[in-house]
Structure 1
């Protein structure tokens, strides 16, 4: 009877969790047992004879779902894969650690809420709260409470970072420079997208819809990057999306089968469909005319926001200087005998909150092969020399063309360009840029002397456009009063300009790229200049802007030029026009610079260098300052006087500035390992989570086996469950149709167990069989219609129960050691770090 019933309904049909004693006290025996004696092996009733589930059984909670961890992990990989398209929008891989530090806590918190079997709405809410805490810990640590709760001052800091991000977006072209503001936007956006992807794929169980969220990550690179999303980022994102679909389908199959191992045919179909789709995506553009000029997945950048500068004249220069590694390498070769500045654009309108270049499209002259004279400049430069400069931009992309001042013509340039007679800036008019250009600039350099500039009288009011002389009404008083104190005693423009330059290069000012950030005045605008004059610490934007504003307050037309300092020589040379020898130099983002240009009647625009430790001071401004013209209080010009404190232009200030920059860079370098360690710790915790969960369940079962209960209820079941799951982890899984005897026999044979492991396995199996099938028979009562019930002979209890030794955890450990010693090293690692049993822990039909 027992064997017949085993064939008809394998023992694997029973649930492993402990049964309620009330449901096991009075089993119902089938009628065909009348007149028969009990066999040594007791059997379960046939399926047809099992009574309907009670109300309490029907009300039991639904099957737990441990497989959501895999789908959440796939969601993390999918969002990170889509984020690779940001390389080229933001400087390559600088976004990775901040994004990982944001996404891992968010998705981990959401997965834990599902493990606790909380509602889907609560899971999404926990994800949003985790996102707020992660962003607070990264970007607002000084304003936070307990490092993760926004505290007083967070809103003000948020406004500052958003303003910084706005300036980056408005004033830069891809790739923009890394900064706290732009990272805050990126991390917040990707965090929200990760929550949406996880909710669609896991909570709503609609993984296909999560592709729309991933697609939104690719929109910005498709629009901004010069070559679109890029094929590599597109392929990685598509593969990660297919993996997410596959794991979500695998989870659905597991849930539908009650936790049993499901067919993997869907994986093969997914691979075929995904490979076909990717092949079409890659191959089709090769045969479609004009496809490579599009924006997605690869093609030309769409210019939807108009032209932008490749150098942000307010904040970007500071980010350039704070970046320890330069990028955007530019090479140029020149025959100039003096250090050469490459100028991209000038800033002359100081009336706004943020100083930006004026494109002046209506006033530009098309064609740059021949460039005319600048407004207000003399038609011919006395004692001037012609300079030839060949510039190779490589990856530097900007609609503003780099050239030495003052350009007379540009050749070998691709695209349509126009020049501005007001400042000789050169701008692309067809949406093009300087990227991968190699062109030759012919410019004219004037031979300026201290004596010649000192003899120039103040210029007429109409010599240059008013935009170069205007000061807004809200110009801070500190600007005007400081100008009067520094330059009010002098008459000639040159003496005033030199006094202002030497005041800013004096010992009271220090060069620092961090002080404006810490002090909250990083950027441009009149209020920034006032804060700079109070703190007396900043970098080139502050020095150049302040000198330009003070020069206007002193009656000298001025503007701020943005470009690059001379850079470093490579030692290579090339042949230029007319047999000239051109010496090669290189610059990168660390050479980004701003400097003032002041207007002198009869000479034109003259460069000055007020920033200590940066650039090169022109020869006409290097001498210890003594005015060459009369002072305002001189009556006979016989006693010109001087400014002793202003003559310091030597290395003392440069050394102090260099040390300050080194210390700031060192502090940043020290912070980077800490951030990296936090990211690594988060990833390690996420990777070790399966091991921790599996170990916790093992400890719980061990306590159950060791518990001293009167009847030992559940101890053998827990020991047998641990044994079968560990066997599955080491490659010997329990099949749904296995009985305890067939599984134990196959395990001993396949794992080549011998000696004590075989004896331990037998004891565990026997204890489990009797706990599940025999221990309840000592409380059996007669049943109607069954022999011994109501007039029948009672079945003797002694025939139904047999004493069995209590299970021992030592037997479990013996079998485990035997399985481990007989397995390969990769199998051991997989069994410990990625246990298969973790995903099968809540199977509906298990371990028989």
Structure 2
């Protein structure tokens, strides 16, 4: 009799697999293109973290290859796990082809020399990160890191948005891409980059909705409501984090993730930016990267890292001159070799840089680990094996001539050919005001020394002030020669602008010049140590607050001479001190009025001790560490909070795919999804329930009416047929005529609509079904109903096997 009560099985119309899949394949391909565009748009925020746009083609190639490879695998109907693996393989092959082609087999398969090359590039990236401030130079190591991580984000984006059908959740990937720029850039991500990332996310949501639309009816409301709810939830969490995090972590005081709160993936190592942009490179107010040096010199020493010689372009950076560098730093030749020998022992601590610190001019360096080369033109020392200065103690012997005012004043102009033209070249965009000022200051003399003194005295005069804030407030905290023009107008700035201005003016009046980057002498520690020859050396300490830039000018037969145009910083050498002379002596000594001290008090010539930080400054580094720990804790809590939501979404997505593929019992899948979501909204199923009693209780307590009540009845009836009438035909065929998943979405939408806001939030973030599994499909690995449940469904009667 059972069989006579059941509807006759109907065989659904079979269509070729290619005909059924083609529309979905096309929609997947469109979503792949949109996902690729979203990742690239979000990656535009890296501009400002990395200088220029040279990194963008590499990132676009990597991301495009990943999405193309996964789209092809999906078009060939690869299983979902194999699509993910394909994306990883394409990522490895693309990155390998770009950065390891010489160490690869067929240009794409890593070869035996791959690990050595990878170690070298990672070390190069580490040195760049710890020794430069944003924007860092686009070295090969940095490009490798950016391409690989962005490509990995592309693999995860494709998996979430297309394979798992969770485009709203995949917005987390875009947020991850935005985090490094938000932390590193002083003013946060910035409006243009943020708008680009949001545009990509909205396009992704629209494409995801368009893909799902044909599979849903207008009456369910699931397409728009589901995506909208998830998008708003994620957006609310992100916005709340962005607003609350700065209030909770000390040091967050400007922008989204402002300056002073930079994080370093390689630890707490620090360095000195070897290049400057006339911007914020050498003015960090916090104290980090302590370095000590002990010397037998009569006065504290400047520690020199690198020199800047090319004043064109947006960024002044050292010319490494790799083709002319020399090995063997234990015996360095060159100019400036007369004078008393000086012995200095330097302990770098956490200071990390490929440029070795040394007082000028070094003649020998011993006890330093690694392979180093030196440049005969500027005597800078650079690592040749990817090494760095971190955690080293080494000895430097140096020697400079005894410089006096009389010696320098008796030196004439530099003849052509004595110095490389690199030290005289100027860009074409020199502002007229800069050149006019330089000519006016030096118009009454042809003597190089007095020209240099006129420029230095002008910049150290009472009209100019040292300020870390004036460039920002005045709007000239940027790059290029226009900054120098604005600086001369405002007459306030910091060391980079003073040093850069003097170096440019010196070249304008015929004196070769360059800018040295390093540290001012610092402050004595009160300790003495034994030198390599047993003599006592006085110890000094410097840190990031002592980072400095100063000009060096070239004089015939003497070499490079240091000047100090920055008021209130460093030490003015004795030969560069302004000295008044009677006016009747001016003509005889070729002096000019510019060499006389300007009106008002001259800045003190004694060394400026490092400023004693206030209580707040003393604790700033400690608070920064606490802030990092707090941020990590908050991030961990956020991940813990969102994990149940992602697990719930993944389970629903998998059931939907299995149900629509026809490979599993659809009614059982649909009933399991319905009962579990109902339990999330506060209507759990109990062991004594039959499908009918549960449906009646849910319909009553949740006030389901109209289409929702009809859909629930259809789901209940289909499940009973599929579960207990399997002898009459295929259960898949019996339930196949119903729009099963649409009914599930109709019921879920009704539950969501009638629930309280707190219940909705709890259903999303703390799903009851994950903590109390009861009714689920065996193929998904969840528990089956308890023993005796089928008897309860049929009122305690055993199943009929024959239908009679």
TM-score by length of 2: 0.51
Q: Which residue of 1 aligns with 2:379?
A: 424
Q: Which residue of 2 aligns with 1:123?
A: 31
Distance 1:334 1:769, change over 3 A: same
Distance 1:547 1:53, change over 3 A: same
Cα distance, 1:520 vs structure 2: 6.9
Cα distance, 1:561 vs structure 2: 1.6
Q: Which residue of 2 aligns with 1:367?
A: 328
Q: Which residue of 2 aligns with 1:608?
A: 563
Does the CA-based 8 Å contact 2:502-2:551 persist in structure 1? yes
Distance 1:681 1:574, change over 3 A: closer
Q: Which residue of 1 aligns with 2:537?
A: 582
Cα distance, 1:201 vs structure 2: 9.7
Q: Which residue of 1 aligns with 2:88?
A: 211
Matches of 2:684 and 2:483 in 1, distance apart?
71
Q: Which residue of 2 aligns with 1:225?
A: 122
Q: Say which one has the larger Rg.
A: 1
Q: Which residue of 2 aligns with 1:388?
A: 343
Across the aligned residues of Structure 1 and Structure 2, the Cα RMSD in angstroms comes to: 6.9
Which of 589, 603, 628 is the aligned partner of 1:649?
A: 603
Residues 678-725 of structure 1 show CA distances to partners (whole Å, capped at 9, x for unaligned) of: x9899699939959999xx9xxxxxxxxxxxxxxxxxxxx99997664
Does the CA-based 8 Å contact 2:551-2:563 persist in structure 1? yes
Matches of 1:586 and 1:456 in 2, distance apart?
37
Does the CA-based 8 Å contact 1:492-1:629 persist in structure 2? no
Does the CA-based 8 Å contact 1:503-1:646 persist in structure 2? no
Distance 1:724 1:463, change over 3 A: closer
Matches of 1:550 and 1:763 in 2, distance apart?
83
Distance 1:731 1:645, change over 3 A: farther
Q: Report the 3-state secondary structure (helix = DSSP H, G, I; strand = E; otherwise coil) of the residue aligned with 2:89.
A: helix
Does the CA-based 8 Å contact 2:347-2:392 persist in structure 1? yes
Q: Which residue of 1 aligns with 2:274?
A: 312
Matches of 1:444 and 1:435 in 2, distance apart?
25
Matches of 2:401 and 2:589 in 1, distance apart?
33
Q: Please say if 1:740 is aligned against 2:691.
A: yes
For these two proteins, the number of residue pairs brought into alignment is: 557
Distance 1:346 1:198, change over 3 A: same
Cα distance, 1:500 vs structure 2: 0.9
Q: Which residue of 1 aligns with 2:308?
A: 347
Matches of 2:285 and 2:454 in 1, distance apart?
34
Q: Which residue of 2 aligns with 1:404?
A: 359
Matches of 1:122 and 1:345 in 2, distance apart?
51
Q: Which residue of 1 aligns with 2:419?
A: 465
Residues 617-662 of structure 1 show CA distances to partners (whole Å, capped at 9, x for unaligned) of: 3344455x646898987899798983525864369xx99x999xx9
Cα distance, 1:404 vs structure 2: 0.4
Does the CA-based 8 Å contact 1:208-1:245 persist in structure 2? no
Residues 543-563 of structure 1 show CA distances to partners (whole Å, capped at 9, x for unaligned) of: 222212212333333222222
Q: Please say if 1:50 is aligned against 2:5.
A: no
Cα distance, 1:403 vs structure 2: 0.8
Q: Report the 3-state secondary structure (helix = DSSP H, G, I; strand = E; otherwise coil) of the residue aligned with 2:501.
A: helix
Give 1:236-275 correspondences, 5 Å limit: none
Give 1:528-543 correspondences, 5 Å limit: 529-530=484-485, 532-533=487-488, 536=491, 538-543=493-498
Distance 1:739 1:641, change over 3 A: closer
Distance 1:492 1:239, change over 3 A: closer
* Gap regions ≥5 residues in structure 2: 100-117, 127-140, 167-211, 216-265, 653-669, 718-747, 794-804
Does the CA-based 8 Å contact 2:63-2:154 persist in structure 1? no
Q: Please say if 1:830 is aligned against 2:781.
A: no
Residues 103-126 of structure 1 show CA distances to partners (whole Å, capped at 9, x for unaligned) of: xxxxxxxxxxx9xx9932443454
Does the CA-based 8 Å contact 1:726-1:837 persist in structure 2? no
Does the CA-based 8 Å contact 1:468-1:559 persist in structure 2? no
Q: Report the 3-state secondary structure (helix = DSSP H, G, I; strand = E; otherwise coil) of the residue aligned with 1:577.
A: coil
Residues 290-330 of structure 1 show CA distances to partners (whole Å, capped at 9, x for unaligned) of: xxxxxxxxxxx9xxxxxxx9743233x84543656566554
Residues 35-84 of structure 1 show CA distances to partners (whole Å, capped at 9, x for unaligned) of: xxxxxxxxxx34xx5142688999xx999xxxxxxxxxxxxxxxxxxxxx
Does the CA-based 8 Å contact 2:679-2:768 persist in structure 1? no
Q: Which residue of 2 aligns with 1:164?
A: 51
TM-score by length of 1: 0.49
Matches of 1:428 and 1:688 in 2, distance apart?
45
Does the CA-based 8 Å contact 1:349-1:468 persist in structure 2? yes
